[in-house]
A and B are shown apart, each in its own frame.
Chain A
């Protein structure tokens, strides 16, 4: 993969890769090359480093060791390794959810103080009061009480979900009745979010669970605690305290960085800080300061999921997805890159040191040696955000004009579709309902639904898998829902605008997009917002006509360019919710165990209604997903696809 065209289909990325090469700057693609060939045992999942009798490896050629020192075979080793990744992915999303719930608790605390006559103002407030009350009543909080009190009780209950020992997570009740029954019968209803993570880690330690099927069962319970727990809490509470997204136009790709402006890039995942940075970047005093140093103003842009969050809520442009984080710095035009947690490459520091760019870490959970750390605190959120923006403005002077090289490429997109908005778009504001969506599927105008989500991975041509797959799906009248870096990939290729329907979608999908003015590909938010897809699907079942369970819906999921442990957790909560899910790149390191692979890709469907598929060709992925959608249409005895070719 030495040609830039093989590394990425994105023109801006190609341009920056050429520049990186000219300037001798190492980026992830180069590091992949120096890591190749990667360890075969790791790829097959049969290397076990759990105890100090090891590391043990199972011989893939069948000639050598078939069990580790403790006697664990390939099935147990691969399953334990996989389960640990589920636990980590769940922990990442859920810890994010916990922080957001804490912010709600802070709001309650301050509102309580205010009504008591004392206290000081707080930077956050409850913005979506309707959703706030809805959520409170779901948790059994009396919504007639004063707002501060509801917030106090609700946040206590939300935080309680993490530490709960018994019973079931509250939000599982959003799932269709039949799905809840399936979980109960299998004994995989998560009890408390933290408990599931801890218990799964316990079961995978030396000498505990050796039955790969049982390990996967416990893994699914943990993943459900992510999708229907931690992630869902993160999404819902963010909507409450930062505002629910509405469809909004935005711009995407490195071209959104502006030559004459102080460029600040937010990168990471938790919008609680980046939302404040958005406010600070518009602070008249700071804008004036920026002008005083010779800039035209302050330009904020995002990378990764925090970009999706501030795009959805404020229309802040997106500079790029995961693999573009280093490239944004290589434009030479970024004054400050603010990072919090997750998907932040340790390499950023070195790339930043080639330019004037200041990398600023903000979370006590993610420190980088030698990098300036300005710790975020909910108490002084706005003040800290202003401090960082000020730092950026001050750094503008250090920018070397001759080293600025911003690719001209940028693209329009429409984002901000939530489960509530899909309602309103399709049914109209006054009769908000999923009926028209369900009817479209029932009549065959829409063939089905697909969720295409996930990361980037230098092992695959950047953005190609996402776009080729999505284009093929919409051509076949499958409405595509996207989140995370997958959404950014397709946005850059112009698939997230209403006009894309005419250019790429099949006739049925075109008719729907034109009637309601939506793009054929809907951007639902950050990767933590995959929970929105679960709730949307539950609403579809509630609406009736498409079966009684999530697994009945003619729908499929896919993460074509995945790399993170979080993607594994997401995959498992989708499969455990009955969704057929395709993973691209290399499979989850399970091939060293034929039994485990067989279980995940075949038998699991008989257990939870959903299963995995591993595939590395985007067109083949589309074919598999459509095949599954057609199978589900047939099972529901729906009319055939209206515009079948």
Chain B
């Protein structure tokens, strides 16, 4: 596949209101029951893989950029994180993860967080089974953009 055809997440920071709806949409997309009320009731609400950060009066969503030269892959001693060049995705194999958090340390964007309970890193997987990542639809101001990479 032509790498240029791979779609990526972009953000129009001017449109981001910092409402954190993308966080909730992301968490629901990764929860067993994909509905907020039911997930909270059942206590199965997953952690969001995306976080809205605030700096210098601006807010912007941060999630894994699926770098073509991923620092986390280099840092992973268990080879749990790999880069799938064909799909343009950084993927990880939970079964291999030893919970050393080196990926968390190495990510230059702070896009990987540790899930201390599950002892696994929390990182965007681009919702591989869906048409588009959940945060795209979840954004009320369309600040989250899902389009082909322009080089």
Contact = CB atoms under 8 A, between A and B. Distances in A.
B59 interface: no
A586 B37 CA distance: 7
Contacts of B23: 40, 61
A-B pairs with lowest CB-CB distance, top 3:
A40-B24, A591-B40, A586-B37
B101 to A, nearest CB: 15
A60 B24 contact: yes
A37 B47 contact: no
A43 B37 CA distance: 8
Interface of A: 37, 39-41, 43-44, 57, 60-61, 63, 586-587, 591-592, 616
A43 to B, nearest CB: 6
Given A60-B24, A61-B27, A591-B41, A40 B36 contact: yes
A41 B20 contact: yes
B47 A587 contact: no
B99 interface: no
Given A43-B36, A57-B20, A60-B24, 10 more contacts: A37-B137, A37-B138, A37-B140, A39-B21, A60-B27, A61-B27, A61-B47, A63-B47, A586-B37, A591-B37
Secondary structure at the A interface, as helix, strand, loop or mixed, is loop
A37 B41 contact: no
- B: contact size bracket: 10 to 19
Contacts of A592: 40
Q: Please classify the interface of chain B as helix (H, G, I), strand (E, B), loop, or mixed, using the class held by over half of its residues.
A: helix
A60 B25 contact: no
A37 B21 contact: yes
B61 interface: no
A592 B37 CA distance: 10
Interface of B: 19-21, 23-25, 27, 36-37, 40-41, 45, 47-48, 113, 137-138, 140
B45 A60 contact: yes
A57 B41 CA distance: 19
A637 to B, nearest CB: 35
Nearest to A57: B20
A39 B37 contact: no
B40 to A, nearest CB: 4
Contacts of B40: 44, 60, 591-592
Nearest to B38: A616
Contacts of B25: 37
Contact of A37 (B24, B45, B48): B24
B137 A587 contact: no
A39 B17 CA distance: 12
B48 to A, nearest CB: 6
Contacts of B41: 591
Contacts of A63: 47, 113
A337 to B, nearest CB: 31
Contacts of B20: 40-41, 57
A587 B35 CA distance: 13
A44 B47 contact: no
Contacts of A587: 37
Contacts of A61: 23, 27, 45, 47-48
A43 B41 CA distance: 13
Contacts of A57: 20
B119 to A, nearest CB: 15
Nearest to B19: A39
B48 A40 contact: no
A44 B19 contact: no
Contacts of B138: 37
A61 B27 CA distance: 9
A587 B41 CA distance: 10
A61 B40 CA distance: 10
Contacts of B48: 61
Contacts of A44: 36, 40
